[in-house]
């Protein structure tokens, strides 16, 4: 027994100061500290991302672009028709055209009056008749916005809270996963709700991905490390594909016969057959593939957050190629239309890494205003728009010179950003931040007045 | 400086202390690291709100205590508290101290243990401890007194007395 403690024992007393000293000595020989700050940032980032997905922060995504329709936010908004219904049209001082703003004085006629929320999102598109846009808010209401008339259709009220949604590849059906454990198929044309597809646990599903054929919906069951396969025609979950840890994004080979699941908490991609729904193999990639995207040239790329690399996967052989360095904590990737170049948002490096895919070589990183969390490329491939988190801004990058243009501050004071989308005609980039949307003209790189959503969150916006 | 940089700076500075605090609460360095990491994760998630506070470390302590108490609730029976000191042939003074102190702390209920650690290791005032645990200052004072008494009896080798004077019921009441 140590002398001091013996003394304590002998006296049978211990005052507060002695206890202080004892506690201090008790931690004197501690083991080395693990990477807990790093781990905390990583886990916290993931939680925040998931919250965004679930709509706590609010998120917007254009999920489908259908041939034949040319969605034009700027053009559609510039039409300036008379406001007729639940939305008023305000002229925009920036010349971007009027924005659609929810008019709080108009009461919705939808069923769930207690949860009334104006359409959370608008993403007008145009066609001969003036195309409609679907906006799903987190309360499970689906609204339509006709871009030619700027009128909203009668909202389609659904019960339950939206977990996530997706549009089929043909653009005809929107699938909305609600927390009452069912997927509601909704016609993007008539907005009629079809018969629900029951699922075991909606909140475990992080993402829905429709197969290229449109016959199957893949449900990424993040906590249970599997992908559920829902048969659209039979309206049932038919099987589960076991994956690596925490499946999230899914990409497909150009032929559509092979699916690639990014196992975000592992260092692997689970390859499965979209015909048999069986696992074909597991490919080793970098640690934490947080994104997986098929390039226009048909190669599948994973973005490996922890390794700071991207890994190409040959879709014909399902073999991984040599990883390419892509900055610190890369998050997202876009490709030029030719498939020759990739741009990777490297969050921790506060830069975008251009990568020459032919040589597999990263070019000199392009500094962004702050931490890039997402990016989009215009359809022409001329400009990459990078959404910077913390504080929120958008940095345009000229892909001809690979240089950043002056970044656009969006919503001064806002820090946490949601998503960024570009209209298929490339005229406008839209950013979601909290409960607001900020349109940015790609011609002038000027932000228009924000579209304030009265719903706390928009789940998704879709161009059917 | 961005919020993320800000967080890393705070977390890097706070991590060792948080882990030590956690160790004194749970008595195990592995669990302590987990607790500290979970605490920092929670703080990162709400960092933009948290960083506006003046007392960020106090916030961290509160989060740590809540995390610790939640884990003890989740697996109450996992920690075996023994009154018997393991036989040690030749141990250094520091190792012995560590063992004795953690053993003495181990005889306390989770909340009392948190009170003692925050008050005497974290050097928090009675008011700060009360705020961290969401209880009255009177509760903190009485828990401190009882815990001190109990640790005294444990450290002085009167384990039998220690059991008799077990403050668990009292601590539960305040829990």
Sequential DSSP letters for chain B: --HHHHHHHHHHHHHHHHHHHHHHHHS-HHHHHHHHHHHHHHHHHTHHHHTTSS-HHHHHHHHHHHHHHHHHHHTTTSSPP-SSPPP-SS--HHHHHHHHHHHHHHTS-HHHHHHHIIIIIS---HHHHHHHHTS-HHHHHHHHHHHHHHHHHHHTT-HHHHHHT--HHHHHHH-
Query: Who among B41, B95, B158 is closest to A40 (CB)?
Result: B41
Q: How far does B40 lie from chain A, in Å, by closest CA?
A: 6
Mean pLDDT score, A310-315: 96
Task: Name, in order, each residue with C-beta under 8 angstroms of A288's C-beta and a sequence gap of 6 or more.
Answer: A42, A264, A265, A266, A267, A304, A305, A306, A307
Cβ-based interface (< 8 Å): residues of A facing B? 1-5, 8-9, 11-14, 16, 19-20, 22-31, 33-34, 36-37, 39-41, 43-45, 47-48, 51, 370-371, 390-391, 415-416
Predicted confidence (pLDDT) at residue A461 exceeds the cutoff of 70: no
Contacts of B152 in chain A (CB under 8 A): 12-14
Q: How far does B91 lie from chain A, in Å, by closest CA?
A: 9
Mean pLDDT score, A47-76: 40
Is residue A355 within 8 A of residue A341, CB to CB? The reply is yes
- Provide the mean pLDDT of chain A: 74
Predicted confidence (pLDDT) at residue A23 exceeds the cutoff of 90: no
d(CA A42, CA A50): 12
Q: How far does B49 lie from chain A, in Å, by closest CA?
A: 11
Give me the pLDDT at residue A435, please. Answer: 66
Contacts of B94 in chain A (CB under 8 A): 25, 28-29
Give me the architecture of the B1-75 domain, per CATH: Orthogonal Bundle (1.10)
Name the segment(s) of chain B with CATH classification 1.10.1740.10: 1-75
Give me the pLDDT at residue B166, please. Answer: 42
User: Which structure tokens are listed for A20?
Assistant: 């202080």
Interchain CB distance below 8 Å, A40 and B44: yes
Is residue B101 within 8 A of residue B93, CB to CB? The reply is no
Name the segment(s) of chain B with CATH classification 1.10.10.10: 91-175
Contacts of B8 in chain A (CB under 8 A): 37, 41
All structural domains of chain A, each given as residue ranges with its CATH number in brackets, are 326-433 (2.130.10.10)
Interchain CB distance below 8 Å, B42 and A24: no
Interchain CB distance below 8 Å, A9 and B155: yes
Query: What's the pLDDT band for A138 if we cut at 50, 70, 90?
Result: low
Mean pLDDT score, B139-165: 69
Give me the pLDDT at residue A143, please. Answer: 58
Window from A197-206, A232-241, A388-397, B126-135 with minimum mean pLDDT: B126-135
| CATH code reported for the domain at B91-175 | 1.10.10.10
Query: What's the pLDDT band for A78 if we cut at 50, 70, 90?
Result: very low
Q: How far does B108 lie from chain A, in Å, by closest CA?
A: 14
Which residue in chain B has the smallest CA separation from A35? B37
User: Which structure tokens are listed for A46?
Assistant: 């993931």
Window from A298-307, A434-443, B84-93 with minimum mean pLDDT: B84-93
Per-residue pLDDT tens digits for A233-267: 999 999 999 999 889 999 999 999 999 999 988 88
pTM more than 0.95: no
Give me the pLDDT at residue A127, please. Answer: 37
Interchain CB distance below 8 Å, B101 and A23: yes
Contacts of A37 in chain B (CB under 8 A): 8, 11-12, 15, 40
d(CA A15, CA B144): 11
Closest by Cα among A410, A440, A407 to A426: A440
Which residue in chain B has the smallest CA separation from A388? B2
Predicted confidence (pLDDT) at residue A128 exceeds the cutoff of 70: no
Please state the three-class secondary structure of chain A as a single string. CCHHHHHHHHHCCCCHHHHHHHHHHHCCCCCCCCCHHHHHHHHHHHHHHHHHHHCCCCCCCECCCCCCCECCHHHHHHCCCCCCCCEEEECCCCCCCCEEEECCCCCCCCCCHHHCCCCCCCCCCECCCCCEEEEEECCCEEEEEECCCCEECCCEECCCCEEEEEECCCCCEEEEEECCCEEEEEECCCCCECCCEECCCHHHEEEEEECCCCCEEEEEECCCCEEEEEECCCCEEEEEEECCCCEEEEEECCCCCEEEEEECCCCEEEEEECCCCCEEEEEECCCCEEEEEECCCCCEEEEECCCCEEEEEECCCCEECCCEECCCCEEEEEECCCCCEEEEEECCCCEEEEEECCCCEECCCEECCCEEEEEEECCCCCEEEEEEECCCEEEEEECCCCEECCCEECCCCCCCCCCEEECCCCCEEEEEECCEEEEEECCCCEECCCEECCCCCEEEEECC
Give me the pLDDT at residue A129, please. Answer: 34
Mean pLDDT score, A276-295: 94
Interchain CB distance below 8 Å, B43 and A40: yes
Backbone angles phi, psi at A460, to 5 degrees: -160, 155
Which residue in chain B has the smallest CA separation from A12? B156
Contacts of B120 in chain A (CB under 8 A): 16, 19-20, 23
Q: How far does A58 lie from chain B, in Å, by closest CA?
A: 15
Which candidate in B45, B118, B119 is best for mutational testing of the A interface (most A CBs within 10 A)?
A: B45
Task: Name, in order, each residue with C-beta under 8 angstroms of B49's C-beta and a sequence gap of 6 or more.
Answer: none
Query: What's the pLDDT band for B21 if we cut at 50, 70, 90?
Result: very high
Per-residue pLDDT tens digits for A146-191: 433 334 545 566 776 777 888 899 888 989 888 888 999 988 878 7
Q: How far does A225 lie from chain B, in Å, by closest CA?
A: 22
Query: Who among B3, B41, B121 is closest to A390 (CB)?
Result: B3
Task: Name, in order, each residue with C-beta under 8 angstroms of A152's C-beta and a sequence gap of 6 or more.
Answer: A85, A86, A87, A119, A143, A144, A145, A146
């Amino acid at each position: 027994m140590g002398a001091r403690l013996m003394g304590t024992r002998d006296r049978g007393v211990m005052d507060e100061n002695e206890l202080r000293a004892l506690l201090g000595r008790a931690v004197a020989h501690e083991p080395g500290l693990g990477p807990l700050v790093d781990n905390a940032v990583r886990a916290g980032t993931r939680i925040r991302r998931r919250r965004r997905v679930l709509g706590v922060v609010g998120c917007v995504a254009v999920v489908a672009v259908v041939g034949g329709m040319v969605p034009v936010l700027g053009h559609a908004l510039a039409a300036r028709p008379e406001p007729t219904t639940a939305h008023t049209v305000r002229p925009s001082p920036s010349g971007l055209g009027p924005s659609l703003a929810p008019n709080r004085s108009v009461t919705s006629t939808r069923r769930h009056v207690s949860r009334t929320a104006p359409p959370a999102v608008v993403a007008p598109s145009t066609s001969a008749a003036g195309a409609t846009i679907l906006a799903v808010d987190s309360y499970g209401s689906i609204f339509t916005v006709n871009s030619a008339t700027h009128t909203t259709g009668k909202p389609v009220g659904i019960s339950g809270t939206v977990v996530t949604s997706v549009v089929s590849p043909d653009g005809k059906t929107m699938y909305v996963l609600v927390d009452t454990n069912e997927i509601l198929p909704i016609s993007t044309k008539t907005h009629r709700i079809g018969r629900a597809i029951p699922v075991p646990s909606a909140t475990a599903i992080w993402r829905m991905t429709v197969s290229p054929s449109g016959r199957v919906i893949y449900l990424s069951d993040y906590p249970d490390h599997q992908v559920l396969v829902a048969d659209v025609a039979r309206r049932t979950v038919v099987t589960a594909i076991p994956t690596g840890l925490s499946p999230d994004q899914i990409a497909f080979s150009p032929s559509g016969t092979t699916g690639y699941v990014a196992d975000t908490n592992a260092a692997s991609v689970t390859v499965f057959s979209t015909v048999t729904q069986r696992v074909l193999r597991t490919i080793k990639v970098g640690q934490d593939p947080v994104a997986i995207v098929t390039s226009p040239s048909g190669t599948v790329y994973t973005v490996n957050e922890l390794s700071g690399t991207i890994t190409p996967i040959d879709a014909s052989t399902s073999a991984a190629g040599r990883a390419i360095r892509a900055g610190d904590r890369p998050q997202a990737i876009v490709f030029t239309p030719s498939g020759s170049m990739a741009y990777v948002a490297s969050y921790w490096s506060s830069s975008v890494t251009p990568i020459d895919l032919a040589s597999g070589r990263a070019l000199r990183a392009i500094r962004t205003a702050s931490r890039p969390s997402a990016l989009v490329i215009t359809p022409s491939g001329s400009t990459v728009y990078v959404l910077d988190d913390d504080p929120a801004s958008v940095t345009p990058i000229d892909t001809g010179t690979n240089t950043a243009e002056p970044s656009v501050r969006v919503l001064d004071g806002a820090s946490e950003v949601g998503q960024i989308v570009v209209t298929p005609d490339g005229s406008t980039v839209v950013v979601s931040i909290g409960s607001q949307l900020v349109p940015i003209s790609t011609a002038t790189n000027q932000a228009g007045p924000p579209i304030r959503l009265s719903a706390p969150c928009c789940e998704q916006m879709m161009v059917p | 400086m961005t919020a993320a940089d800000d967080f890393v700076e705070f977390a890097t500075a706070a991590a060792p202390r948080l882990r030590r605090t956690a160790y004194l609460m749970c008595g195990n360095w592995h669990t302590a690291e987990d607790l500290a990491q979970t605490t920092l994760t929670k703080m990162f998630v709400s960092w933009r709100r948290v960083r506006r506070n003046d007392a960020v470390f106090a916030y961290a302590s509160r989060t740590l205590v809540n995390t610790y108490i939640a884990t003890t609730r989740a697996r109450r029976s996992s920690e075996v508290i023994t009154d018997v000191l393991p036989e040690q042939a030749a141990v250094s003074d520091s190792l012995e101290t560590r063992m004795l102190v953690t053993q003495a702390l181990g005889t306390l209920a989770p909340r009392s243990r948190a009170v003692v650690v925050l008050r005497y290791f974290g050097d928090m005032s009675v008011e700060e401890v009360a705020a961290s645990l969401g209880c009255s200052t009177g509760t903190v004072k009485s828990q401190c007194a009882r815990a001190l008494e109990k640790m005294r009896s444990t450290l002085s080798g009167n384990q039998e007395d220690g059991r008799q004077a077990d403050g668990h019921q009292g601590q539960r009441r305040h829990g």
